[in-house]
Amino acid sequence: MRRRSENKRDHAGLGTRGVWAGEEGNYWERATQIPVALSVSFGYDDVNEWLKVAQGKTHGHIYSRNTNPTVAAFEEKVRNLETAEAATSFSSGMGAISNTLFALLSPGDGVVSIKDTYGGTNKLFIEFLPRFGIKVSLCDTSDHQAIETAIGQGCKAVYLESPTNPTVKVVDLARLAAVAHRHGAVVIVDNTLATPINQQPVKLGADLVIHSATKFLGGHADALGGVVCGGADLVGRIYHFREITGACLDPMAAYLLLRGMKTLHLRIARQNESALKIARFLESHPHVIRVFYPGLESHEQHEIARRQMRGFGGVLSFAIRGGFDAVKSFLPRLRYAHLAANLGAVETVAGPPSTTSHVESTKEERAASGIPEALIRYSVGIEDTEDLIADLRHALGKVRLAKRRARS
Ligand SMILES: *Cc1c(COP(=O)(O)O)cnc(C)c1O
């Protein structure tokens, strides 16, 4: 677990902090890059010194399930960008989410959330937490009044995600955090889709901010990881739980995520810009029924998104004419997209929710979440925008040809 040490670099711009935060150590043989500390344990010549480290009185590491220098550098970088007091990391985003919920909730406690959380998170809410006697109320994501009413009925935690995946809905974080705090609940926000470059939930009132670092933070689709940032007391409790459950981040993955994060601000700037252009292109295309992107004026919560986000992110989704058959014909025609279950990478990634974010859900559960079967989630990479638009135009044109042939 990483706590804030007052640092002049805390006040630089987000780009500068993305590059430098967590990197001020004194490394092995004066290496300028953070070494990958592939060491399970850390040795001491002096038992008194070892004891001081074990008791947290002196900086140091004992055993890598608890802390590790490479992992600590990654935690510090995220902590700094999210302007939080402390951060701790996990083997994956779901590791972060499940450890946080199980560390903070006990039988009889209630948690209020929304229907559109990430598919794995939704499974925790409907399948696992209730088994431990935790009351879960899942509200319609767009109905702020309903969420406020559920919070008012009493709960220990309010769990939010914004924008959501795959229909990129937006919830008013400042408004719901204020209501939650009036009722003494802890506010947890999954900030994976926005990243701290576009949105800093701590500044909007969140107590805890969670990331699947696997996505935009790492950005290169080569390492899994998760992180939770927030106040030192809460993060300390979650860290203690994780020490024991053992869902720790691997040092090699931490290194890859750290390296990816140095270009986070550049990637996000490009992805924000491209996604908006692509969303506008798709909105004007006759084969597209509907486009979901918070940057579009047609988006239901566009005004909230404008208030709480600096950019609208790299993920959009759209429904095309022709149902799931059209989706199956369209996707393989894309030249510049991996058809895969991931998002936030430098390469464009596309897929239907039934095989990606909501692979764990049934067709009925997806329909209940308002996810059309002909929906395509499109995570914009850092390729040239014109190439991506040409690629989409070409693939959409071919779908029409395939349909015509089938009819004749
Ligand atoms: C992918 C994702 C997760 C889960 O992260 P993993 O690293 O795959 O465990 C959680 N929340 C959101 C919004 C995600 O996109």
CATH number of the structural domain spanning residue 323: 3.90.1150.10
Q: Quick one: pLDDT at residue 317?
A: 96
Sheet holding 349-351, edge to edge: 288-292, 315-320, 375-379, 349-351, 338-339
157 & 290 share domain: no
Look up the pTM and report it. Answer: 0.94
One domain, residues 169 and 235: yes
Residue 338's identity, in one-letter code, is H
Which of the four pLDDT bands, split at 50, 70 and 90, describes residue 386? very high
- Residue 92 in contact with ligand 1 by CB distance below 6 A: yes
CA distance 99 to 228: 10
Taking each helix axis from N to C terminus, what angle separates 144-152 and 173-182, rounded to the nearest 10 degrees?
Answer: 20
Domain count, the chain: 2
Return the SS3 of 161: strand
Find the distance separating the first CA and the last CA of the chain, reported in whole Å.
64
198: confidence class by pLDDT, cuts 50, 70, 90: very high
Query: Does 1 map to a domain?
Result: no
| Cα distance between residue 115 and residue 103, in whole Å | 22
Q: Report the distance separating Cα 255 and Cα 69, nearest Å.
A: 10
* pLDDT score, position 156: 98
Distance, in Å, from the CA atom of 229 to the CA atom of 246, rounded to the nearest integer, reads 18
**Mean pLDDT, rounded, for 269-282:** 98
pLDDT at 402 over 60: no
Residue 367 has pLDDT above 50, yes or no: yes
CA of 380 to the centre of ligand 1 (A): 17
Residues annotated as catalytic (active site), given as ranges: 65, 118, 190, 215
Please tell me whether residues 244 and 279 are part of one structural domain.
Answer: no
**Which residues lie closer than 8 Å to 58 by C-beta, 6 or more apart?**
49, 52
Q: Where are the alpha helices (DSSP H) in 153-301?
A: 173-182, 195-198, 232-245, 251-261, 264-283
Shared-domain flag, residues 299 and 237 = no
- In 3-state terms the chain splits into helix, strand, coil percentages (rounded to 5) of 45, 15, 40
Token reading at 150: 């559920």
Q: How far is the CA of 343 from the centre of ligand 1 (A)?
A: 9
Q: Are residues 171 and 195 in the same domain?
A: yes
Residue 408 has pLDDT above 50, yes or no: no
Same domain for 276 and 150?
A: no
Among 124, 215, 220, the mutation site with the greatest number of ligand 1 atoms within 8 A of its Cβ is 215
Average pLDDT over residues 233-241: 98
255 and 318 in a single domain? The answer is no
Asked whether residue 343 is assigned to any structural domain, the reply reads yes
Q: How many residues does the chain have?
A: 408
Are 183 and 321 members of one domain?
A: no
DSSP annotation of 128 reads I
Say if residue 339 is in the same domain as residue 213.
no
Assigned domain for 4 exists: no
Same domain for 309 and 204: no
* Residue 162 CA to ligand 1 centre (angstroms): 13
323 found inside a domain:
yes
The last residue of a domain, from among 246, 261, 276: 261
Q: What is the CATH number of the domain that holds 25?
A: 3.40.640.10
- Any domain includes 2: no
Can you give the pLDDT at residue 354?
Answer: 75
pLDDT of residue 358: 63
DSSP class of 147: H
407 domain-assigned: no
Of all protein residues, the one whose alpha carbon is nearest to atom 12 of ligand 1 is 118
Range of the domain at 352: 264-401
pLDDT at 360 over 70: no
DSSP state letter for 63:
B
Residues 292, 293, 294, 297, CA torsion sign: negative
Cα–Cα dist 223/252, whole Å: 8
Residue 100 in domain: yes
Q: 360 or 61: whose pLDDT is higher?
A: 61
The last residue of a domain, from among 220, 244, 261: 261
Q: Residue 32, exposed/middle/buried by CB under 10 A (0-12, 13-18, 19+)? A: exposed
In this structure, are 213 and 144 located in the same domain? yes
- The answer on 323 and 193 residing in a single domain is no
Instruction: Using the 3D structure, point to which of 213, 241, 261 is the last residue of a domain.
Output: 261
Whether 199 is in a domain gets the answer yes
Q: What is the pLDDT of residues 39-57, one digit of tens each?
A: 999 999 999 999 999 999 9
